[in-house]
Amino acid sequence: MSEHERDYAEKRDFIRMRIDADVSLIHAGQEIAGTCVDLSSSGMQVQAPRQFTVGDLLTVRIDSEHAALKGLEADTEVVWTKAAGEEQQLGLKILKMR
């Protein structure tokens, strides 16, 4: 199996949920508002208003809209980037849930 086929197969091992939720990205002490496009058990795709690079470590926080439910907070690593006009799409690998 080629590396490309393996990467695709691994991506399909995790169910992705499309969520379009507001997120806070915390990097080097700075908090940046973004949008989480989709989420799986191993990572997420985020739209950000500024540029990051592969290897950057970000803390991601998604607040819950329901008082009874806890939001999500995770330590992540940028594993891919794609320019989207003035913004950037990020592929984030979840390293640790908080």
The CATH number of residue 73's host domain is 2.40.10.220
Taking CA atoms, 21 is separated from 2, 6, 26, 35, 69, in Å, by 34, 29, 16, 6, 15
Total structural domains within the chain: 1
pLDDT digits over 56-76, tens only?
999 999 887 776 667 789 999
Q: What are phi and psi of 13, to 5 degrees?
A: -70, -15
Distance CA 55, CA 16 (A): 22
What is the residue whose two structure tokens read 């950057």? 56
pLDDT digits over 31-56, tens only?
999 999 998 889 999 999 999 999 99
| pTM of the complete model | 0.79
- The domain of 86 spans 3-97
Distance CA 74, CA 34 (A): 15
**Looking at residue 29, what DSSP letter applies?**
T
